[in-house]
Amino acid sequence: MTEEYGHINVASLPGMGRRSFLRLAGFSFAGAVLAGCQQGGVEKAIPHLVQPEESTPGSAVWYSTICAGCQAGCGILAKVRDGRPIKLEGNPGHPLSQGGMCAIGQASLLGLYDSLRLKAPLMKGAPSSWQELDRHVMAELDRIRRGKGAVRFLTGTVTSPATRAVIQRFLGSFADARHVEYDPMSCAAILDAHRLTHGARVLPRYHFAEASVITAFDADFLGNWISPVEFTKGYRAGRTPAGNPARFSFHAHFESRVSLTGSNADQRVCVSPDELQLCLEGMAAIIAERAGRTLGLSVRLPANLDNSVRRLADRLWNARGRGLVVCGVNTVRHQVLVNALNAMLDNYGGTVDIDTPSHQYAGNDAGVEDLLNELRRGSVEALFVSGANPVYDLPEGQALGEWMKKTPFVVSFSGEDDETAACARYVCPTPHFLEAWNDSEPVSGIVALAQPTIRSLRDSRQMIESLSVWSGDNAPALDLIRREWERTIRERHATSQTMDAFWNRTLADGYAVVRSASAPHHACDYDAVATVVTERGPTSVSIPPATGGVTASPGGPPPGFAGGRYTLLLHPSLTILDGRHGHNPWLHELPDPVTKIVWDNAASLSRKTAEALGVRHGDLIRIEANQKFLELPVHIQPGQHDAVVVVTLGYGRKGTDRFRDIGPEWLQSRPTVGSGETVGKNAALFGLIEAGCRTNRIDAARLIPTGGTHVLVTTQEYHSLREPNLFGGETGHRRPIVQETTLAAFANDPSAGSFHKEELDSLWPDDHKYAGHHWGMTIDLTACTGCSACVMACQAENNIPVVGKDEVRRNRELAWIRVDRYYDEARGEFSVSHQPMMCQHCGNAPCETVCPVLATVHSAEGLNQQIYNRCVGTRYCANNCPYKMRRFNWFEYRHGDEMQRMVLNPDVTVRERGVMEKCSFCIQRIQGAKIRAKREGRPLNDGDAQPACAQSCPARAIIFGDVNDPSSEISKTLSSPRHYRVLEELGVRPSVGYLTLVRNREEQAGEADHA
Amino acid sequence: MHDVVTGEKVFDASAGRAVPPQPGLRKPVILGNKTYRDVTSDICSQLDQKASLSWWAAFLVSLTVLAVGALSVGYQVLTGVGVWGLNNTVGWAFDITNFVFWIGIGHAGTLISAILFLFRQKWRTSVNRSAEAMTIFAVICAGIFPIIHTGRPWLAFWLLPYPNFRGPLWVNFRSPLVWDMFAISCYFTISAVFWFVGLIPDFATLRDRTAPGIRKRIYAFLSLGWNGSNRTWHRYEKVYLLLAGLATPLVISVHTIVSWDFATSVIPGWHTTILPPYFVAGAVFSGFAMVLTLMLIVRRVMRLEEYITPHHIEQMCTIILATGGMVALAYATELFVAYYSGNPYERFAFVNRALGPYAWTYWIMISCNVLVPQFFWFKRVRANVAAVFALSIFINIGMWFERYVIIMTSLTRDYIPAGWSGFTPTLVDLGTLVGSFGLFFTLFLLFARFLPMVAIGEVKGVLRYGRSVNGGA
């Protein structure tokens, strides 16, 4: 046959004459011309000519590296697919994060694809080239070296040994040079206090797992304080209501605002900042009395708090060596008292570790203050700024910007054209951390390596490379780091591996444990404590305790003290931190885990204060303090102290009006941010550097309602599990959506608090046999802190678009998982519960029966599947979902710009408008795991298939697995007496279950140990 | 020509005096001592004349409103359902409210034409043609919403079970939306056929009156060769009776099935067995209110006061009073069941309706649907055309709100408090709602222009009701 066809020629075809041939040829030509007229996209798709060894199109590779979302230095794995990093996941082996990863870290991936990253070096604001810039800079540096001018190098905390060494070496070539480290989220007082009490300026490593009594004074250690993922891991490990007696720490929390950590506390004591100080002092005095020490303190506790502080002191005393006192107030006097407390309670060496201290925060506020003074005087010749944005985040930022412009030689190392870069003469673009080599030693003895996961998308150069070039060394970053490791790290490693082997091992693992190098220190010097206590006096206590009886309890007097003056408290955002992620739309749309506000910061007031001021949610108030003012919308925060106004830092970043049109545009859409405005307002200007420490507490703030309003958007509109009592009166019926109990009740009856246990008879035949796998999920509400890492994991994994503020206002956010946060204010108490909620994959799914086109169906493995291309979008399924966890594509939502679309996960369909979507239990991961197991010829093991939320959860609160496998972790949770299913009584048979929330509560417990 | 009811006496303009009603006779259905010729000319003359200024004015207004609706729908189809005020929690609001509202409106037409026909309620003859037209137009209005409410309306045909190459992939026969699709298409088909069959003798009359031309040819075609013989009448009446029999169950079934959209769900406030009878009663209630609204206008504008008499108005008011009572009973039963069930979610759903953030919608519903019909107990109100007109408008509003309350407030606050939300309509929502009225009135005005508003053939059959023997028999 083939041969025959091969010999066919036109002339021999029967009936094909000259004219027919011409006719055909004419038609063909015309056809070709017409086809050519079509405007087809010219696309060049060139596959790898030489396939890189480890790269297979369509399959992902994971590279271990270090997260740079904050300084905590968690170990992560970057999932690279077809050359693009598309997801960051926790490195399960890393000793700090142990596989957990917070929302911020995960979202920092998007920064890689930010189209506003600097494309080229800038010289005096104009684009330039590296050669040009290097020529200029080196000439200037020569001039400065000759003139012995003052050189200052301002950075954030440097946890990288190599970077530190390179900076030191570079500065060594100047006569007058100093490296200044600072942290906008400063912990300097803790370090300074340890210098005073222990003789070493160190930040301890806190072991929450070892603590049985945790007392925190405004330290948001589950939120964003120092190392939240590590702390969450530890906190979770110390709180499991299993075993007899259960190892379950008691957590007391003193605070004025409502922090994420406070919302998880067993006992949350709402105090004013002054009362907080009195409580800390009182506790120190009580413990000192017991320990036989003198700190020069007398116990003077506010009457309403006396009892709780004394009881807590008892608890701490009884748990000596297993207690932990932490304080987030950046004042040396506070921190010195905390050190004394931990020392008197024998916690050093146990829960507080300064032998292998943390390097995560090394900033020195006094150093910054000195630098600012030098800059003000104009005595600095050259200033380098790297990994910091002081013009934005320092209280005197604006002035600093002016001083910087007057400073002769200013270099900014920055990935973006931020506020500081705008004031610098030379701007050197630095790569995103996923494009760079790096190393770190976040905690003494734990070293880690970061490797590039993609070739730099911009013409950027790492800061250490630039310094190397300017020193005439010209070494690439890899060499600089490797050299440093050969010099200092290798020798601290225990094994006798070759450098190559050690390096490669570390690179593959992402970390190595080496001998720790700690600063010499001594035991707590109580005299130093007494000196600080007396010398620094209670200066900031502006309200005598006699009149400080202002509490959040409903019976307290209304605010109006001190002429309507309030205390302004600033705290870094739980989503964009100090503003460093202010250009990350994923984080802007991630609801704040406590307030649930998106795309804004606000002035949080207690309900009573708001009533006294006559303002409501979204009304604008003018905050005046320090001769500065800011207008912010009011957010009413239950559980907050009446005497404070709380403002989130990190907002108001320059250039955030880029998010104006991030959402869909239509007739009645409103921009996410007004033209020329910013997302939120920058409250850093209120901050102060007092006594060498940056404080976020500003007294005597005036609040003046302006009469204006602002659209302040939260993802949750009703905040209680109790129905509003519409007939009037206190509270309504409490819905058993979150089932909770106390530890004491749990000890008596493990099923306490969980009900709806009876198996309901069903008229329906058992349709689903689940012969193979049967996927299920259990969420441990005791473990869940509400941190929202799962929400971000889902967003990154499942290509959830950002919809903009207006769409969120219209309650159209697309997140497949949300963390419901409920306040309970019954009986004058305040407690908070967090509940992750997603599609419950019901066995008798109400959505499935009502879909007219069978676009949502039940799989043989128990998944409720949404078939996007079959969906016509009646939304009947969403209406009939009792959990309201179905999400509709109201518009064609944009998935960022062309750059940002590179982050999309190719394994997950990008949904078009008009279709319904929802949690899929990450079916792409389940299928991937099954394929892997099949290829490897083994059965699927428990834990092989992990949805993104479960994988990232720092608290391991989400357990996923095969219910049909009796040995799986999920099967064990199913038999737990704490297990319940939300709305079980509807008979929808959800596949997701919850474990009751157990609180280590005193009052209902009836324990005798602290009477 | 101009008769007015004065007390119990009928003022006969042609006789120039008030004549007492004949004892032992029913009230006349048609006033004015019409002859057959009068009837034909009265009704048909409307179609012969040029359209009046008021018709044109009304038509232009309707057309404009229709254009607003068309623009709204076009914009929505091009842009996305997001241009409505819906959200993750409230997946239906104006769209399905309008759908149920219009379907409900249609029910009065079918009730009048089919059920009252079977019950030999001869007074229906004056209004059945218009009421049936109303049914068809209302079903057209209603039918648009299930299509446009989908996220991808161009795929709405997937709701129909048709042979296909996707497996074949069928619809989900367990979904009430599929039942809806059947119920409504069935309803529309039967109503249209019923209406057309009823029109055949009148088409023939028009054909015979019309001068040769295109119009005559159309009427001739539509009259299907009607020749007025005994045989045609005989066949006609048989078919009409059969169709009435077919249409009768639809009055019950269509709204029952529509109510299943809600009753079969799990949402508190929707999931209740009372919904089918409640919806049917509500449909008839709202339908009659709409018939009254329309008839009172038509009667005045088209000068049909002798055909649509105070007697008709009174009859319809009585039906409204009865069905209004049923609706009120349903409201009360719902509240009682919610209380008595002991189901806290159910209980809250109803408390929330009455006292929650959307309580105003609930109280509009109660005022319009429970309080307003109570005026119809008074004969003076029933006899006052202006009052009846005003009250009928209130009932229309109330019944729209009834569906809005059921659909919207139930969704806003269901099981998980963190998911609670609200609903605010957008301009496009409002545009689509008024647009559906534009479509309805445009169609109705066209109907008034081109087809006889009163069934000529049927009215002639009841002409002698209430007249003395010498008036005919």
Check if the beta carbon of residue B82 is closer than 8 Å to that of residue A806. Answer: no
Count CB neighbours of A875 within 10 A: 25
The mean pLDDT of A917-931, rounded to a whole number, is 94
Residue A213 CA to its chain's centroid (Å):
25
> How many beta-carbon pairs under 8 angstroms link A with B?
193
Claim to verify: residue A978 and residue A848 sit in the same structural domain: yes
Claim to verify: residue A382 and residue A281 sit in the same structural domain: no
Of A662, A512, A519, the C-alpha closest to A585 is A662
What is the distance in angstroms between the Cα of A737 and the nearest Cα belonging to chain B?
Answer: 7
Check if the beta carbon of residue A444 is closer than 8 Å to that of residue A456. Answer: no
Contact B175 A732 (CB under 8 A): no
The mean pLDDT of A119-139, rounded to a whole number, is 91
Residue-by-residue DSSP string for A230-266: HHHHHHHHTEE--TTTTEE-EEEEEESS--HHHHH-S
Nearest CB among A726, A885, A915 relative to B351 is that of A726
Q: What is the pLDDT of residue A1?
A: 41
Total domains present in chain A: 4
Q: Does the pLDDT value for residue B442 go beyond 90?
A: yes
Q: What is the pLDDT of residue A6?
A: 44
Q: Does the pLDDT value for residue B22 go beyond 70?
A: no
**Domain boundary at A714, A732, A762, which?**
A714
What is the distance in angstroms between the Cα of B100 and the nearest Cα belonging to chain A?
Answer: 15
Interface confidence, given as ipTM, is 0.90
> What is the enclosing helix (H) or strand (E) of A164?
helix A161-172
**Looking at beta carbons, which residues of chain B come within 8 Å of A737?**
415-417
Nearest CB among B156, B261, B418 relative to A820 is that of B418
Whole-angstrom distance, CA of residue B128 vs CA of residue B288: 12
Of A927, A906, A920, the C-alpha closest to A80 is A906
Q: Does the pLDDT value for residue B10 go beyond 70?
A: no
Whole-angstrom distance, CA of residue B163 vs CA of residue B177: 19
Q: What is the pLDDT of residue A15?
A: 61
Whole-angstrom distance, CA of residue A919 vs CA of residue A816: 5
Residue B84 CA to its chain's centroid (Å):
26
Q: Does the pLDDT value for residue B467 go beyond 80?
A: no
Nearest residue in B to A916, CA atom: B151
Task: Tell me, yes or no, whether A957 lies in a domain.
Answer: yes
Check if the beta carbon of residue A451 is closer than 8 Å to that of residue A364. Answer: no
Q: Does the pLDDT value for residue A647 go beyond 90?
A: yes
Claim to verify: residue A141 and residue A207 sit in the same structural domain: no
Q: Is B250 helix (H, G, I), strand (E, B) or coil?
A: helix
pLDDT-derived band at A491 (thresholds 50, 70, 90) equals confident
Claim to verify: residue A375 and residue A303 sit in the same structural domain: no
pLDDT-derived band at A463 (thresholds 50, 70, 90) equals very high
Q: What domains lie within chain B, and their CATH numbers?
A: 5-471 (1.20.1630.10)
Nearest CB among B171, B352, B426 relative to A853 is that of B171
Nearest CB among B79, B345, B428 relative to A891 is that of B79
Q: What is the pLDDT of residue A193?
A: 92
A692-726 pLDDT, tens digit each: 888 889 888 899 999 999 999 999 999 999 888 87
- Comparing A79-88, A414-423, A555-564, the range with the smallest average pLDDT is A555-564
Nearest CB among B150, B155, B265 relative to A850 is that of B265
Claim to verify: residue A894 and residue A798 sit in the same structural domain: yes
Nearest CB among A810, A822, A892 relative to B80 is that of A892
A76-105 pLDDT, tens digit each: 999 998 889 999 999 999 999 899 999 999
Contact A820 B416 (CB under 8 A): yes
B125-134 pLDDT, tens digit each: 778 888 889 9
Whole-angstrom distance, CA of residue A806 vs CA of residue A722: 28
Of A595, A693, A584, A700, the C-alpha closest to A640 is A595
Cα dihedral: A473, A461, A84, A791 (round 10): 120
A327-362 pLDDT, tens digit each: 999 999 999 999 999 999 999 988 999 989 999 999
Check if the beta carbon of residue A987 is closer than 8 Å to that of residue A760. Answer: yes
- Comparing A287-296, A619-628, A972-981, B27-36, the range with the smallest average pLDDT is B27-36
What is the distance in angstroms between the Cα of B270 and the nearest Cα belonging to chain A?
Answer: 10
Whole-angstrom distance, CA of residue B95 vs CA of residue B345: 25
Nearest CB among B82, B355, B416 relative to A666 is that of B82
Q: What is the pLDDT of residue B473?
A: 35
Structural domain span for residue A565:
561-714
Please report, for the domain that includes residue A614, its CATH number: 2.40.40.20
Whole-angstrom distance, CA of residue B354 vs CA of residue B382: 30
**Looking at beta carbons, which residues of chain B come within 8 Å of A717?**
420-422
Q: What is the pLDDT of residue A725?
A: 81
Strand partners, A620: A633
Please report, for the domain that includes residue A877, its CATH number: 3.30.70.20
**Looking at beta carbons, which residues of chain A come within 8 Å of B184?**
none
Q: Is B318 helix (H, G, I), strand (E, B) or coil?
A: helix
**Looking at beta carbons, which residues of chain B come within 8 Å of A668?**
83, 426-428
pLDDT-derived band at A861 (thresholds 50, 70, 90) equals very high
Whole-angstrom distance, CA of residue B457 vs CA of residue A769: 64
Q: What are the φ and ψ backbone dihedral angles of A323, each rounded to 5 degrees?
A: -100, 170
Best probe of the A interface among B182, B416, B421, by most A CBs < 10 A, is B416
pLDDT-derived band at B150 (thresholds 50, 70, 90) equals very high
Strand partners, A77: A64, A89
For chain A, give the mean pLDDT: 87
Q: What is the pLDDT of residue B420?
A: 93
Claim to verify: residue A378 and residue A312 sit in the same structural domain: no
Contact A852 B177 (CB under 8 A): yes
Please report, for the domain that includes residue A131, its CATH number: 3.40.50.740
Please report, for the domain that includes residue A294, its CATH number: 3.40.228.10
Contact B80 A913 (CB under 8 A): yes
Contact B415 A835 (CB under 8 A): no
Whole-angstrom distance, CA of residue A596 vs CA of residue A717: 9
**Domain boundary at A480, A497, A513, which?**
A513
Task: Tell me, yes or no, whether A281 lies in a domain.
Answer: yes
Nearest residue in A to B145, CA atom: A874
Contact B156 A888 (CB under 8 A): no
Q: What is the pLDDT of residue A1007?
A: 33
Contact A872 B156 (CB under 8 A): yes
Q: Where are the alpha helices (DSSP H) in A851-946?
A: 876-879, 923-935
Claim to verify: residue A237 and residue A156 sit in the same structural domain: no
Structure tokens that stand for A453 in this block: 């996961």
For chain B, give the mean pLDDT: 86
Contact A723 B422 (CB under 8 A): no
Contact A875 B91 (CB under 8 A): yes
What is the distance in angstroms between the Cα of B74 and the nearest Cα belonging to chain A?
Answer: 13
B231: burial class by Cβ within 10 Å (0-12, 13-18, 19+)? Answer: exposed
Contact B181 A852 (CB under 8 A): yes
Nearest CB among B81, B170, B418 relative to A914 is that of B81
The mean pLDDT of A183-197, rounded to a whole number, is 91
Check if the beta carbon of residue A314 is closer than 8 Å to that of residue A1011. Answer: no
Of A478, A481, A503, the C-alpha closest to A490 is A503
End-to-end CA distance of chain A: 99
Whole-angstrom distance, CA of residue B198 vs CA of residue B129: 8
The mean pLDDT of B184-190, rounded to a whole number, is 91
Contact A880 B267 (CB under 8 A): yes
Claim to verify: residue A347 and residue A369 sit in the same structural domain: no
Comparison of pLDDT for B306 and A31, the residue scoring more: B306
Q: What is the pLDDT of residue A562?
A: 44
**Looking at beta carbons, which residues of chain B come within 8 Å of A719?**
417-418
Whole-angstrom distance, CA of residue A432 vs CA of residue A460: 9
Count CB neighbours of B78 within 10 A: 9
Best probe of the A interface among B87, B88, B265, B415, by most A CBs < 10 A, is B88
Q: What is the pLDDT of residue A412?
A: 94
What is the distance in angstroms between the Cα of B323 and the nearest Cα belonging to chain A?
Answer: 30
**Looking at beta carbons, which residues of chain A come within 8 Å of B426?**
667-668
Nearest CB among A818, A891, A982 relative to B82 is that of A891
Pairing of strands A323-327, A176-181: unpaired
B106-128 pLDDT, tens digit each: 888 888 888 888 877 777 777 88
Contact B88 A812 (CB under 8 A): yes
What is the distance in angstroms between the Cα of A449 and the nearest Cα belonging to chain B?
Answer: 42
Nearest CB among B87, B88, B428 relative to A667 is that of B428
Give just the sign of the alpha carbon dihedral B322, B328, B329, B331. Answer: positive
The mean pLDDT of A447-469, rounded to a whole number, is 91
Strand partners, A493: none
Contact A890 B265 (CB under 8 A): no
Of A1001, A1000, A973, A957, the C-alpha closest to A783 is A957
Claim to verify: residue A237 and residue A174 sit in the same structural domain: no
Task: Tell me, yes or no, whether A233 lies in a domain.
Answer: yes
Q: Does the pLDDT value for residue B460 go beyond 90?
A: no
Whole-angstrom distance, CA of residue B236 vs CA of residue B457: 11
- Comparing A67-71, A451-455, A552-556, A944-948, the range with the smallest average pLDDT is A552-556
Q: What are the φ and ψ backbone dihedral angles of A325, each rounded to 5 degrees?
A: -115, 125
**Looking at beta carbons, which residues of chain B come within 8 Å of A878?**
88, 91
**Looking at beta carbons, which residues of chain B come within 8 Å of A666?**
79-80, 82-83
Task: Tell me, yes or no, whether A581 lies in a domain.
Answer: yes
Claim to verify: residue A591 and residue A502 sit in the same structural domain: no
Nearest CB among B88, B345, B428 relative to A888 is that of B88
Q: What are the φ and ψ backbone dihedral angles of B144, each rounded to 5 degrees?
A: -65, -35
Whole-angstrom distance, CA of residue A663 vs CA of residue A816: 18
Task: Please identify which residue in the block is written with the tokens 């696309």.
Answer: A43
Whole-angstrom distance, CA of residue B226 vs CA of residue A87: 77
Claim to verify: residue A885 and residue A945 sit in the same structural domain: yes
Task: Tell me, yes or no, whether A401 lies in a domain.
Answer: yes
Task: Tell me, yes or no, whether A50 lies in a domain.
Answer: no
Residue-by-residue DSSP string for A556-582: SPPS-GGGTEEEEEEEEBTTTBTTTTT
Q: Does the pLDDT value for residue A540 go beyond 50?
A: no
Claim to verify: residue A130 and residue A237 sit in the same structural domain: no
Best probe of the B interface among A670, A719, A726, by most B CBs < 10 A, is A726
Task: Tell me, yes or no, whether A308 lies in a domain.
Answer: yes
Best probe of the B interface among A875, A917, A981, A988, by most B CBs < 10 A, is A875
Task: Tell me, yes or no, whether A526 lies in a domain.
Answer: no
Check if the beta carbon of residue A287 is closer than 8 Å to that of residue A339. Answer: no
**Looking at beta carbons, which residues of chain B come within 8 Å of A822?**
417-418
B240-276 pLDDT, tens digit each: 889 988 888 888 899 899 999 999 999 999 999 999 9
